[in-house]
Amino acid sequence: KSNQRGMVGFSEKQEGLVKESWEVMKHDVSNLSLRFFTLILEIAPAAKGMFSFLKDSDEIPQNNPKLKAHAVKVFKMVGTCESAIQLHEKGEVVVADTTLKWLGAIHLQKGVIDPHFEVVKEALLRTVKEAMGEKCSDEMSGAWADAYDHLATAIKNEMKAEA
């Protein structure tokens, strides 16, 4: 469904739901990001092999800065909706010194494939659900799912263009 801005599948109402919940969760972003990353590895232990710094360890390093940084980045990029909005308005995503082109390149280089994006999506949605508790409606989950999909699709398209 298209809305006023013409962004297919992501309405202003959905943007409001994502941003509103992000405003709550951002105060606990450190813990939530750790939970988010733990869920990724729980759902798909194989994802660990892609993170060079995790390959040889059996446990999830609680304070691994790189690991946490990735979780925070993904969480924030989806939560602020900036990427989805920029993508629509400028045809390009630039977040915290990272361009879409670079995001495509790094994920391609690390061997990230489509099913991994599904795992990360599942983990993110579970994190939001846990964190928001009763306040998490199906509509809110759906809004996060769509915001994530916009970003994941943009990265995947860039990966295909570079491959």
Residues in touch with ligand HEM (CB under 6 A) = 47, 50-52, 66, 70, 73-74, 77, 98, 102-103, 106-107, 110, 112, 116-117, 120, 148, 151-152, 155
Task: Using DSSP, state whether 99 is helix, strand or coil.
Answer: strand
Q: Which two tokens stand for residue 133?
A: 């508790």
Query: Which one, 117 or 131, has the nearer CB to ligand HEM?
Result: 117
Q: How far is the CB of 134 from ligand HEM (least distance, A)?
A: 27
Q: How far is the CB of 24 from ligand HEM (least distance, A)?
A: 20
Query: Which one, 86 or 98, has the nearer CB to ligand HEM?
Result: 98
DSSP annotation of 28 reads: G
Distance CA 36, CA 42 (A): 10
Q: How far is the CB of 69 from ligand HEM (least distance, A)?
A: 7
Hey, how many other C-beta atoms are within 10 angstroms of the C-beta on 37?
Answer: 27
Q: How far is the CB of 162 from ligand HEM (least distance, A)?
A: 14
Q: 9's torsion region: left (phi>0), alpha (psi -120 to 50) or beta?
A: left
Query: Which one, 68 or 107, has the nearer CB to ligand HEM?
Result: 107
Residue 28 sits at the vertex; the CA angle it makes with 119 and 83, to the nearest 5 degrees, is: 55
